[in-house]
Amino acid sequence: MKEQADAVLDTTGLLCPEPVMLLHNKVRQLQAAEILMLVATDPSTQRDVPRFCQFLGHTLLKEEQVGEAFHYWIQKKQS
């Protein structure tokens, strides 16, 4: 099942810490409960994105690997 994203952030080719830094900035732009789809190729995002969500209270709805890319659906916490 594909989650419907309100926004997409493509960090393909970027290495730690850039994907999470850009993720942090992009999530700030979203309204509460909106969903962001993050696309990354850095394997460290498999560790960093769940930690980011847990630390800041956002919900990691789904994560999957598609070829060399990692896809994450993140729902911004509701105030």
Give the active site residue among 7, 16, 22, 61.
16
CB neighbour list of residue 57: distance below 8 Å, 6 or more residues apart: 77
Residue 48 within a domain: yes
Reduced to 3 states (helix: H, G, I; strand: E, B; else coil), residue 51 is helix
**pLDDT score at 28:** 96
Percentage above 70 pLDDT, the chain = 96
Active site residue 53: no
- How far apart CA 59 and CA 78 sit, in angstroms, is 10
Residue 51 within a domain: yes
CATH code of the domain in which 59 resides: 3.30.110.40
Q: How many domains does the chain fold into? A: 1
Half-sphere exposure at residue 34, Cβ-oriented, CA atoms within 13 angstroms: 12
Q: pLDDT by residue (tens digit) across 27-53?
A: 999 999 999 999 999 999 999 999 999
**pLDDT score at 3:** 67
Residue 25 within a domain: yes
**pLDDT score at 1:** 42
What's this model's pTM, rounded to 2 decimal places? 0.94
